[in-house]
Amino acid sequence: MIFHAVLVRPFTILRLLRGDQIVQPSLTLAYILIFAGLLLLVAELFIPSGGALLALSLGALMVGVTMTFFYSNDPSTGLITLVGVFIVIPLIVSTWLRYWPRTRMGKRLFLSGPEQDATVASMPVHLELENLRGRFGRAVSDLRPAGVVDFDGRRVDCITEGMMVESGQWVRCIEVAAGKVVVRPVEKPDLGDLESAFLS
């Protein structure tokens, strides 16, 4: 077998150079390589190496698992090792994805931007819409539940809380969230009312 020749010959040559007795690699070496591969995989999470540690880790894991097939008397040993590696690696990766961004180093590496609602709400156009909160307007089109409302000559796209509003009906802005103006139908307002009164 090609793999057998490629894997065994380096060990054989090294032992001949040292004058040792020729002994083939054992299962112990296979499991040492697998353990080293897992350690290198964990190290890659903490030490940015540009993928070098990841490549070494994958190489050690592949060689270690393959050795369990070649140097065990029972083929099930290799299969159990292979399944075990395929269970341990996803556990390591999922644990890393869950907890790493919360660590001090993870917070430095993973930049978290502002929430989308906060970003949208801070745009100048949406800041102007905040002035509509509590004001009365008249529906220019049917609100089903979205449509256009006239606030003192300014036409604004609005949405109701779910109910339908006919064109021409009075509404009041009860909320502005992420650039969406939410209105509620009201009776014809008394212009003496304070439009900025708090709405529950």
195 inside domain: no
Give the pLDDT of residue 113.
Answer: 54
**Does residue 68 share a domain with residue 165?**
no
Claim to verify: residue 126 and residue 81 sit in the same structural domain: no
Does 94 lie in the same domain as 18? yes
Rg (CA), the chain: 34
Where do we find the tokens 């969230």? 177
- Band (pLDDT 50/70/90 cuts) for residue 192 is low
How does pLDDT run across 5-41, given as a tens digit for each residue?
A: 444 444 444 444 444 444 345 788 888 998 998 888 8
Range of the domain at 171: 116-185
The tokens for 188 are 């014809």
State the DSSP string of 94-162.
HHHHHHGGGSHHHHHHS--PPPHHHHHHTSHHHHHHGGGTT-EEEESS-BSSEEEEEETTEEEEEEESS
Q: How far apart are CA 146 and CA 138, in angstroms?
A: 13
- Confidence (pTM): 0.40
Does some domain include residue 179?
Answer: yes
